[in-house]
Amino acid sequence: MKHPPDRRGMLLTMVALACSGSACSREGTMDLLDLTPAGGEPLRERGAFELALQQCEQNVLRLLGAGSGKHPDLRRYRLPAQTDWPAVTTFYASKLDAAWRRSEVPEQQLGYRLRAWQREQAIGAQRFVVALLDQTGVGSDDARPFRMLVVAAEPR
Contact criterion met (CB below 8 Å) for 56 and 134: no
Residue 128, domain extent: 27-153
pTM of the model: 0.77
Q: Establish if 9 belongs to a structural domain.
A: no
1, pLDDT greater than 70: no
Please state, in angstroms and rounded to a whole number, the distance separating the CA atoms of residues 133 and 147.
7
Mean pLDDT check: name the lowest of 9-13, 111-115, 125-129. Answer: 9-13
Counting residues of the chain whose pLDDT is more than 90, the rounded percentage is 56
Give how many domains the chain has, as a whole number: 1
**pLDDT digits 0-9 by tens, 123-141:** 778 899 999 999 888 866 6
**Cβ neighbours around 2 below 10 Å, total:** 6
**Band of residue 142 on the pLDDT scale cut at 50, 70, 90:** low
Is residue 15 situated within a structural domain?
A: no
Look at residues 140, 126, 135, 119 and name the one whose alpha carbon lies nearest to residue 65.
126
pLDDT of residue 156: 67
93 located within any domain? yes
- 2-6, 33-37, 43-47, 117-121: which has the minimum mean pLDDT? 2-6
